[in-house]
Each structure stands twice: as structure tokens, then as C-alpha cells.
Amino acid sequence: AEIGREVAEIRVAPGRDETLLAELGPLSRGHERVGDTLYFYCDDGRPLMKKVLELDLPDTVHRPASLEDVFLKLTGRSLIE
């Protein structure tokens, strides 16, 4: 499963998933929820991050994808669990 080159991590309560997936899902290659964090995988995260700013989601990290992201996408759990 290809994840893209960039990842946006958004810490948000699961109750907001439906709204966020409707807004951000089309701007990403896919997503994953682990605990209190939604991960969105992108080739170019700029459009997604613009929408994150519009939605006022302050607890967000935008970074390059790593091998840990590949592991998370393949197994559904982090290396540190």
C-alpha cells in the first residue's frame, strides 16, 4: 500500500472523524486513525494543510513520510505500541 510522500497528523477526538474525512479525505491518498490521532497520507500536503488552517485544527503536524508510516499503514499499529 502506497502512502505518499507526506503525512499530516491531526490530534482530534474520534467524534469529529466523519466531518474531517469529508473535508480532508479527498485531498489525501488515504487515512488511518490510531488512538487520538488521524493520519492523512499525501503526495503534496499543501492543499490539505490549507484546509486544516481553514478548519482551525491547531494540534496538527505536517511532515515527510517515514518507514514508521509504512509500518503503521501495513499493520495498523505504531512501532512503539
Per-residue model confidence as pLDDT tens digits over 8-65: 999 999 999 999 999 999 999 999 898 999 999 999 999 999 999 999 999 999 999 8
Instruction: Identify whether the C-beta of residue 69 lies closer than 8 Å to the C-beta of residue 34.
Output: no
Which of the four pLDDT bands, split at 50, 70 and 90, describes residue 79? low
In this prediction the pTM is 0.83
On whether the CB atoms of residues 65 and 5 are closer than 8 A, the answer is yes
> φ, ψ for residue 63 (rounded to 5)?
-155, 165
Report d(CA 20, CA 77) in Å as an integer: 21
For residues 42 and 29, is the Cβ–Cβ distance under 8 A? yes
Which pLDDT score is estimated for 1? 47
Per-residue pLDDT band for 66 (boundaries 50, 70, 90) equals: confident
